[in-house]
Amino acid sequence: MSEQPASARYPAQGGRRARLDRDVTLIELLDRLLQGGVVIQGDITLAAADIDLVDVSLRLVVGAVDSVGRDLRGPVRAAVEAG
Amino acid sequence: MIYVYAVTEGVPSPAARDGVGLAAQELRVVAASGLAAVVSDHPGGLTSPSETELWAHERAVERLMADGAVLPMRFGSLLPDEDAVRALLNTRRAELTTGLARVAGAIELGVRAVWRSDGGEPEQAPEDRTSGSGYLQALVGQRRRARALAERIDTPLARLARDSRHRLLLTANLPLSGAYLVDRERLDAFRTEVVALDEQISQAEIMCTGPWPPYSFAAASPEAA
């Protein structure tokens, strides 16, 4: 990839965790592009199955740091209020 | 088919929309109701996406951010024709305009905590799932630790941010994920604070990613709804 996206840049943190940085960046990208953003109402998006496929396959690549993260989240604030 | 990357207020400068999007297609603008959608044309549809396409979407939106407020679309936003794009801008004008005002002058930063593998996290989730109550107790403990860590991280960071969203993650080593909407001029101060937290908190590594387009703030906050 010749053009490095701004989002892949980090503050200087040393090379110690370059691998972790890369994995976390990919998870952050998936979380944002596939679960954030403005949503078009209706079903006129890329085939949902195709998107799930790229989501799951890329998460498998970074499985070491995101074992089951996708389905078990809840808002912290709500959790704090409830707890 | 027309793929939509982002909505901007007014037409973005040629420099900001210079470049290509998915499948190396040129970007162009569809304007309506004082808003602009940045799109690319895909008459034959799109093939199954890969990481390359995700980054192509991301780069297109990042370039637009140099130019002013941007509301990124979710990946995969494909509309049948230009009329459908104009209809999106017209029918959701109020919501989109409010969203653009919410994120103007700010960028999104991601904050992740990862339990350190060198013994910082005292009890990992047990492998032995045959003992039901023991397993649940360990999960409850794990969640409590994640919540305590979340509060410790969030308090100083929220002071530097316009808005924030969090998720506690019930994973063995990724306890939480936060998204912060931060004024551009506070970017350095925010990153400095994350590095300070990372040094102070021994049991987890705290990492900051971004600046991202404001994907996590494209919709009104759950509290405001």
pLDDT of residue A4: 47
For B218, nearest residue in chain A (alpha carbons): A37
Render pLDDT for B56-78 as a digit per residue (tens, 0 to 9). 999 999 999 988 999 999 999 99
State the distance between the two ends of chain A, measured CA to CA, in whole angstroms: 45
Nearest Cα neighbor of A28 from B38, B108, B39 is: B108
Rounded to a whole number of angstroms, the distance from the CA of B187 to the nearest CA of chain A is: 11
pLDDT tens-digit series, residues A15-32: 556 777 888 888 899 989
- Chain B, residues 113-142, CB within 8 A of chain A, namely 114
Closest by CA position to B218, among listed A37, A35, A9, A31: A37
Q: Which residue of chain B comes nearest to A41, CA vs CA? A: B88
Nearest to B62 among A5, A10, A80 (CB): A5
pTM: predicted TM-score of the whole model, two decimal places: 0.82
How far, in whole angstroms, is CA B173 from its chain's centroid? 21
How many Å apart are CA B96 and CA B71, to the nearest integer? 8
Q: A-chain residues within 8 Å CB-CB of B48?
A: 47, 50, 53-54
What average pLDDT does the structure give for chain B? 88
